[in-house]
Structure formats: C-alpha cells, structure tokens
Structure 1
Amino acid sequence: MDSQELVQHFAEQSHPDELEQFDRASLEELVAKHETPFMVLDLEEVDYQYKSLQAALPGVKLFYALKSLSHPELIKRLKGLGCHFDLATIGEVELVESLGIKGDQCIHTHPIKKDKEIKRALEFGCKRFVVDNFEEMKKFYKYAGQVELIIRVSFRSKQAVVDLSRKFGCSLEELPVLVEMAQSNGIEVVGLSFHVGSQSLSPATQVNAIRSSVAAMKVMNNVKWKFLDIGGSFPVSYQEEVTPIEEFCAPVMEALSELPEHIEVFAEPGRFISAPSMIEVVSVVGKAKRGSRTWYYLDDGVYGGFSGQMFDHASYPIAPLKPFDPLGEFYPSVLAGPTCDSIDVVAEDIELPELEVGDILIGKQMGAYTIASATEFNYYPKPKIVVVEDIFDPTTEAL
C-alpha cells in the first residue's frame, strides 16, 4: 500500500468530529450552568438561515411556518428580519399577536378550519386563507367581502421525506369548479398554493408544480390572480449532505420567471430556518453491556426532544462533547432514552468511543419538529430551551 492509499485507508476508517464547527468552550460553559437535558437556540443561526434562503429566493416573500418551532425569541428575531408568518391555529394567531405581529403580515394556511378559527383570524386582521375542497369553501360564504382565498392544489412528490400533498390539496381538474363556486357566492379567489412535501431532496416536483400553476392561471383568466404560494420543502442536512440552498432554488427561480410580473410569490419555510438553529445537550445516565453492543441510556429520548425521529422521520447527528481521536477505538453502541418504553431508542448500531456515566452528548439540527412534538410521557419534563447568540467556533464556517 503506497502513501496515498494509506491516507485514503485511514480517512475511510476515521470518525469525523460532528462538533468541529461548534465552540466547545461555550458548550462546556452551558453544561456547567444548566442541568441536562436542555436545548440551545442560537439566534445568529436563525439570521444565517433566513438570509441564506432569502438570498436564494430573491423577491419571494417568506412566511415562517410556526409549527416547526414556535419559540417567542425565534419569532421576534424573524420579525426583526422582516419575515412574515404562516399560521394554522388559534393558538398560533394568539402567539404572534402577543409579539406585536399584525394580521396583514400573516397567512392562514390550514386547509381545514372550524368557524371559530376563521373568526379569530379575521379579528386578528388576517384575511388570507387557504382552502382545498368544496365543503371548506362553503364555510366562507358568510364571509364574502371579508376574505381572500388561496386554493391549494395537490402535487405529490416521491422526493420528499414527508409527503404533505397526501393529506391536503385539490386536483387540477377540481380547481375550476372551486373557483366558480367561490365567485358565484361573492368570494374573491386571489391565488394558488401547493406544498410538495417537507425535506424535499430535489426541486423537480416544486418546479413542475410552479409551471402547472402558471398554466392554470393563464387558462383561468377570469380570476384576478395576485399570489402564488410555493410552500416549503427546502432541505437541511441531517446524516447526509443535501443540495446547497442556492443550487436547490436556482431551477425554482427559473420556473418562477414564467409568472406574470404582477403576481407576488410566497414561500413557507419552517425546517430550513429552525432545524439548524437548535441543538440538544444530553447526559449519559446509565450504561450496560448487552451482547456485542454497549447500551448508553440518556436523559432524553424519542418521547422528548428526539420526538422528530418518530413523527418527522429525522435522524439527528449526535456526538460526544469531549474531544476524541478520530482514528482511535470505536465500539458498536446503542443510545436509548430514559423512559420505560422499549421503542425509546435514539440510535442503534452507532459507533462511539467508550463513554462513561455523566458524559455529555450533543444532538445537531434539532430545531424543527422536535420540542414542538415532545411529550411528558413517564412524567419526564420536556427539555428547557436556552437562548444564545452564537455557539459556533469563529474559526469555522457555520453549517
């Protein structure tokens, strides 16, 4: 084996440091101040993600999807950046209202609503609503003249980890009938929307959806179209790399160039902004040798901050806080949560250096659909959230 082959061999056998872009000293200070488990929300990373997406989608108005992570400090930070907000419930309406956000800065995107939810949104000043079926359209008859409706169309995507067009969206064939139904009852239809799915690994379906929407708008020229809402789907890297956001959005922007100039474009990012903005800090509280693998029991698991593994199909990078030799000994291991339920397993067949009770591990990319869906099963409390300005090492580029 020559020297080049030897270098390649060691590179393949080594274990990269998942925490190399973080300032370990800052993390150690946080561990000294706060009892695990806790999550760390980095507001500078919120800035970075928002500005990166806005740069990749120039001219597109971003409506942050609150459901992914609705921490007040994150919302206030986005408000200061000029972001708008995507609402779906009365609770979300009341949250943004309490933070000084106005109704005309929001859009209500849940296709299925109770009448009281429509009333509350209108009281707040939000008059743009999404519908996708005939029964839902009927709910708006009595609000004619008060609302602007955006009709959601279904475009299924095999490239999306979470298929959101399975549950919502009308077919293109139903669209003209829904528009006629609205217009005959004095209701203004102003736009189309779609959501090809969360964590889409390719922009292809989104591009096709844009072009199909443009074609539908041109055919239905009896409507004064104002908006096209292209949803979310913008991916982030978990265990594997994804297409950089500027490359992902390039064909999307090319397709949007086919829209008439007067039509405003909305997008509904959630995960892209929130996921990289938060990490979780957990401790090893137990250790057992079971067969050929060492089981490490953590003080949080899939019923808590790691709930996205169950509901969001996410697999989070997780690594020890203490530095390790990437060429040193690693062992087959299992990371399990603290509850008495056997499905509470965070990672199986993960290779780790030898850990001890009390050691700290860090989960990355844990802002989206984690604490938002966490429970208190077994009466374990949800992890608290610590808000900071920057936990990244200034000598490395934030991912």
Structure 2
Amino acid sequence: MQLNLLEVIHTPADSLDHQDSLIEAERIKRLVAIHGSPLLILDCNAVRRQYRALQQALPGVQLHYALKPLPHADVVTTLMEEGACFDLATNGEVDLVASLGVAPTNTIHTHPIKRDSDIRHALGFGCNTLVFDNQDELLKFVPYRDQVKLLLRVSFRSLATKVDLSKKFGCRPEDALSLLAQAAELGICVTGLSFHVGSQALDPSKHVEAIRACGEIIRQAAELGLPSLNTVDIGGGFPVDYVEPVLPIDTFCAPIRAALATLPAGTRLLAEPGRFIAAPAMTAVATVMGKAQREGKWWYYLDDGVYGSYSGILFDHTHYPIDSLNFFGERQPCVLAGPTCDSIDVIEENILLPELHNGDLIIGRMMGAYTSATATEFNFFRKASIVVINQTHNQDCAVVPLSA
C-alpha cells in the first residue's frame, strides 16, 4: 500500500508496510532538512475531512469554526472554501478573519465578557451577533441596542469534560427568563440561547440535557410574551481520538440530532467546533538533542516541549500519541523531556520507545488544538515552524513561523 505523509503519521507502526514506513520517514526527514526542527505539519486535507464529517453528523447545523485552538490563516482559508462560518472571541481573531476576506455575516462573537472597545471592534467589522450571560454584561449593549442581536449563554456544568467551560461562563438556567425580560425592557434584541458544555466531551448526554433545557426556556419565554427566540447555539466539545479512542462522530451526534428535532420548528441551529476540526490537522516533529541515563532509564531531551508545541499537556490536560520516526527495535520505558532548564518540562515519563540517538526524530500526532496556539518561547527556545500542505489555493508548501 502507498500512504501519504499524514496517513503514515496517523497509522500505528505495526500496521504499516516496512517499505512504506521507510519511504515516509525519508519524506519527513527531508522536511526537517529544509525547514528545521521543531516542526509542525499542518494538513489542510485533515481540516476538510473533519469539517465534512461533522457537517454530515449535524445536518442543518451551521458550523462556526472556533479560532481559539488553532488560529491559522490556512485553516481559515480552507474552511472558507468549504463554506464554513466562524466563531470569534477577541479583537485579534476579528482582525484575522477580516484580513482574509471572511464575510461579517458569517461570524458570531461569543466571548461572554467584553470591554466596550471589544464590542465596538466587532461591530466595526460588521459582526453583530454577540453573547452575554449576566446583567452587567447586558447593560454594556444599551448604547448599541439598535445594532446587535444577542445570544444569552446558559451554563450546564459537566465534570466529565476535559475543560468545564460552564464553570467560568453562563447564567443558571433558572435565571435565564429574568435576563431575557431585562433585555426586553431595555429594548435590546435577544434572538436566542447558547451554551458550551466543555471541551472534549466523552458522551453526548450533557449536550442533550442542555438542548432540552434551552427548548424549555424558549417555550417559557413565549408563554410570558417575551420576544421570540429563534436561535440555539450548541457550542463545541465534540471529541477526537488522542491516546484513548472516543465515539465516532456520527454515533456521538445521533442523540444530539434527536434532541435538536424537539426544538420549535424553524429554530436556527449553530455550533462552535474547534478541537474537532483542528486537532487531527497538525503533526509535530521534534529532534533528540541529548540523552542521559537516570535511575536506570533513558532520558531523551527534545528541541520541543511543554513550553512549546506540547503546551497542551499543561493548559489543555491532554496527552498525545507519540512515537519515534524509527518505529522498529526493542522498546523500553523512557522519559521524553523538553529543552528548557525547568524540571516541569517533561512530555512523557514512562513511554515505550526503541533506543534513540542524538538527531533522531520524535513524532507527535493529533497536535492541532491548543498546542501552537499556547506555545511560548520560554528560555528563548524558538517555537516550532508550521509547514502547510495540501492547500487548494497554494499547492506549494509554505513555512510560517508561529510568532508571525
């Protein structure tokens, strides 16, 4: 069988043909020889594949890619070609999509807490769908009540997710009606409800619970004679495979589709996928820069670590599928450490790898979400450069430093 670069990186070593694995290893080595190390390989085909899979799993739901996990121009451009919309949260994200020609009508701004200048910046771009979750935030929109269409974010706590976003944002469901009534009194247009159950949800039950609760709030608001709510934004949280497998996306979304069908006819449905689209799209390549025996175990020091592309270990509570480019040889427990002079900079403490040597390459899979976006240059170790492959608008590979 003949595999392309990203297919081999995402395929277990024991299922690869020996000759194919050697060919692909040479391709990766050539990329490192051209662009240096550490390196991140961004595959636009993976972006397309993930977007289409979620679109098929959630028919009738308008997908707004959340820029936060991977705010890269080629990701935005690729998704524009797919007909995607975008979820923005900061002035920088507004500026990025504006510079790439995204239509303001294809964006929403979902940060629940904003400065007045943030509101003006979004409106100046032309994005007029914004979010609030409390009375103080609602009052910020009084000067702009003739321009905005707001969504009220409701909190649904989920301790089963990797990151419980409802801990920080969202009103209690029982407070929603009073906030909607206050908005009506102030003459501020609220068109719907939003929620985000958290990142990397392992089952869809919290999505289902939240959708049903939103449906009840919509019905109660209508009974009270409040302005009609015609939009529900179900946020993100759709899971991807890291070290442990998760439900296939169509299976995960099946009960969500059923719950959405119970909402009032004609309800506009939105979602904010971030990780699901971004995570599989990027692969990390790091180089062994030193090794040492400590307490009977090899320590391998890489030119990338938790202050760099593996920052998601700290910030996102995630561990990634990691292997050496040399798949073969007897494997022993070892430690992978980053390059900085900080003892916390350890990627894996008990990973099984063949014996490595200086200059050997380590591959990290599923490295698109919350990795490069949260990387630093602590200790003056430079961030990985990104090599972009499989763009339709530019078939040549382009290298982009993360600091650019």
Normalised TM-score (structure 1): 0.91
Judge conservation of contact 1:18–1:317 (CA < 8 Å) in 2. Answer: no
Match of 1:229 in 2: 233
Judge conservation of contact 2:327–2:354 (CA < 8 Å) in 1. Answer: no
1:239 is aligned to 2:243 = yes
Match of 2:314 in 1: 310
Q: In 2, Cα distance between the equivalents of 1:35 and 1:29?
A: 9
Judge conservation of contact 2:230–2:267 (CA < 8 Å) in 1. Answer: yes
Letter aligned with residue 64 of structure 1: Y
Deviations 1:75-105 (A, max 9, x none): 0000110000000111111110000012111
1:193 is aligned to 2:194 = yes
Alignment of 1:1-399 (within 5 A): 17=13, 20=16, 23-221=24-222, 222-325=226-329, 329-389=330-390
Q: Report the Cα offset of residue 289 of structure 1.
A: 0.3
Deviations 1:143-180 (A, max 9, x none): 11110110000001122111000000000111111111
Judge conservation of contact 2:208–2:256 (CA < 8 Å) in 1. Answer: yes
Deviations 1:23-49 (A, max 9, x none): 444323312322110100000111100
Q: In 1, Cα distance between the equivalents of 2:79 and 2:265?
A: 27
Judge conservation of contact 1:19–1:321 (CA < 8 Å) in 2. Answer: no
Name stretches of at least 5 consecutive residues in structure 2 with no aligned partner.
1-10, 392-404
Judge conservation of contact 1:18–1:319 (CA < 8 Å) in 2. Answer: no
Q: Report the Cα offset of residue 19 of structure 1.
A: 8.9
Letter aligned with residue 69 of structure 1: L
Q: In 2, Cα distance between the equivalents of 1:261 and 1:353?
A: 58
Q: In 1, Cα distance between the equivalents of 2:376 and 2:316?
A: 15
Q: In 1, Cα distance between the equivalents of 2:15 and 2:345?
A: 24
Letter aligned with residue 66 of structure 1: L
Q: In 2, Cα distance between the equivalents of 1:18 and 1:175?
A: 53
Q: In 1, Cα distance between the equivalents of 2:221 and 2:132?
A: 18
Describe the SS at the equivalent of 2:251: helix
Judge conservation of contact 1:153–1:172 (CA < 8 Å) in 2. Answer: yes
RMSD in angstroms over aligned alpha carbons?
Answer: 1.5
Alpha-carbon distance change, 200 to 132 in structure 1, aligned in 2, over 3 angstroms: same
Deviations 1:56-80 (A, max 9, x none): 0011000000011011011000011
Q: In 2, Cα distance between the equivalents of 1:305 and 1:19?
A: 27
Normalised TM-score (structure 2): 0.90
Judge conservation of contact 2:336–2:349 (CA < 8 Å) in 1. Answer: yes
Q: In 2, Cα distance between the equivalents of 1:249 and 1:113?
A: 31
Judge conservation of contact 2:157–2:167 (CA < 8 Å) in 1. Answer: yes
**How many equivalent pairs are there?**
373
Describe the SS at the equivalent of 2:174: coil
Q: In 1, Cα distance between the equivalents of 2:326 and 2:147?
A: 58
Letter aligned with residue 277 of structure 1: A
Alpha-carbon distance change, 129 to 18 in structure 1, aligned in 2, over 3 angstroms: farther
Judge conservation of contact 1:19–1:319 (CA < 8 Å) in 2. Answer: no
Q: In 2, Cα distance between the equivalents of 1:32 and 1:304?
A: 20
Q: In 1, Cα distance between the equivalents of 2:377 and 2:15?
A: 28
Letter aligned with residue 324 of structure 1: F
Q: Kindly indicate whether structure 1 or structure 2 has the higher relative contact order, using CA contacts under 8 Å at least 6 residues apart.
A: 1
Deviations 1:186-231 (A, max 9, x none): 1011000000000000100111100111111011102221210000
Q: In 1, Cα distance between the equivalents of 2:30 and 2:53?
A: 29
Give the share of equivalent positions with the same residue, in percent.
Answer: 52
Q: In 2, Cα distance between the equivalents of 1:40 and 1:261?
A: 43
Letter aligned with residue 248 of structure 1: F
Q: In 1, Cα distance between the equivalents of 2:348 and 2:35?
A: 24
Name stretches of at least 5 consecutive residues in structure 1 with no aligned partner.
1-14, 391-399
Letter aligned with residue 180 of structure 2: V
Q: In 2, Cα distance between the equivalents of 1:46 and 1:243?
A: 19
Judge conservation of contact 1:308–1:369 (CA < 8 Å) in 2. Answer: yes
Q: Report the Cα offset of residue 16 of structure 1.
A: 5.0
Q: Report the Cα offset of residue 275 of structure 1.
A: 0.3
